[in-house]
């Protein structure tokens, strides 16, 4: 793979998107684009009552992601690689999972206005993990509002992500199963993953690593 100018990392909550974005940006001498998740005032209430707070949470994320990407890509990035811990287009995964029919209709109108103004990544990395592994990682990082995440919701989210990326063909895609590796604490796992990322030629590829520890 030639040096990508814009890499987006995706996957369900707890899979390690932000951690990999930081590590990969260092490897590529680039910059990170980290979503300001904690700035969403509706998120803590969302996990306590998904139906009640889904639309407010979703719309806030959609608009804040758009604003962040717009500001980032207005800068001079010709000599800089960007590694983001989210893909703007994935916003619809959560919308279709959580919104009712009327909310979804309004959401789609706003989404279509914004999506065409956002640049597509040169590469998307989709991180997978089993629901049990995700629950363990969420528990370890011990964020207050994430303690309300229920296994049933997380399982549905994992399925929704898998369906979305099964049909995804907008950009080159690398699907990485992270259930058996720890690229944060194990240098060999990270090194092997970076080699895989740099070897991407195009299309969709799958990487199922064996734990090195």
Instruction: Give the pLDDT confidence score for residue 21 in this predicted structure.
Output: 95
Helix H segments across the chain?
Answer: 17-27, 43-48, 50-73, 91-98, 101-115, 131-141, 151-166, 187-198
Instruction: Give the pLDDT confidence score for residue 113 in this predicted structure.
Output: 93
Model confidence, pTM: 0.90
Q: Where are the domains of the chain?
A: 26-119, 125-213
Q: Which fold has domain 26-119?
A: Rossmann fold (3.40.50)
- Longest Cα–Cα distance of the chain, Å, equals 49
Q: By the 8 A CB rule, do 31 and 81 touch?
A: yes
Query: Distance between terminal CA atoms of the chain?
Result: 28
Alpha-carbon gap, residue 127 to 20, rounded angstroms? 10
Catalytic residue among 39, 49, 85, 122: 85
Query: pLDDT 10s per residue in the chain (213 long)?
Result: 555 589 999 999 999 999 999 999 998 888 999 998 889 999 989 988 999 999 999 999 999 999 998 888 776 555 678 999 999 988 899 999 999 999 999 999 999 999 988 888 999 999 999 999 999 999 888 888 888 888 999 999 999 999 999 999 999 999 999 988 888 889 899 999 888 888 888 889 999 886 554
- Specify whether 76 is catalytic: no
Q: By the 8 A CB rule, do 91 and 61 touch?
A: yes
Please choose, from the candidates 150, 210, 157, 154, the residue with its C-alpha nearest in 3D space to the C-alpha of residue 179. 210
């Amino acid at each position: 793979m030639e040096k990508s100018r814009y890499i987006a990392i995706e996957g369900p909550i707890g899979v390690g998107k932000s951690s990999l974005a930081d590590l990969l940006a260092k490897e590529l001498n680039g910059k990170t684009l980290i979503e300001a998740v904690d700035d969403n005032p509706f998120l803590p209430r969302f996990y306590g009552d998904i139906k009640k707070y889904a639309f407010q949470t979703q719309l806030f994320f959609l608009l804040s992601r758009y604003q962040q990407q717009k500001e980032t890509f207005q800068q001079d990035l010709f000599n800089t690689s960007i590694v983001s811990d989210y893909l703007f287009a994935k916003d619809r995964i959560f919308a279709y999972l959580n919104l009712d029919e009327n909310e979804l209709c309004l959401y789609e109108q706003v989404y279509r206005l914004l999506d065409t103004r956002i640049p597509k990544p040169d590469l998307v990395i989709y991180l997978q993990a089993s629901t049990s592994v995700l629950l363990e990682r969420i528990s370890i990082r011990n964020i207050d509002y994430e303690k309300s995440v229920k296994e049933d919701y997380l399982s549905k989210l994992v399925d929704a992500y898998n369906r979305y990326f099964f049909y995804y063909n907008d950009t080159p895609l690398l699907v990485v199963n992270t259930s058996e590796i720890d690229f944060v604490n194990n240098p060999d796992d990270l090194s092997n993953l970076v080699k895989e990322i740099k070897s991407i030629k195009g299309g969709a590829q799958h990487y199922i690593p064996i734990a090195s520890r």
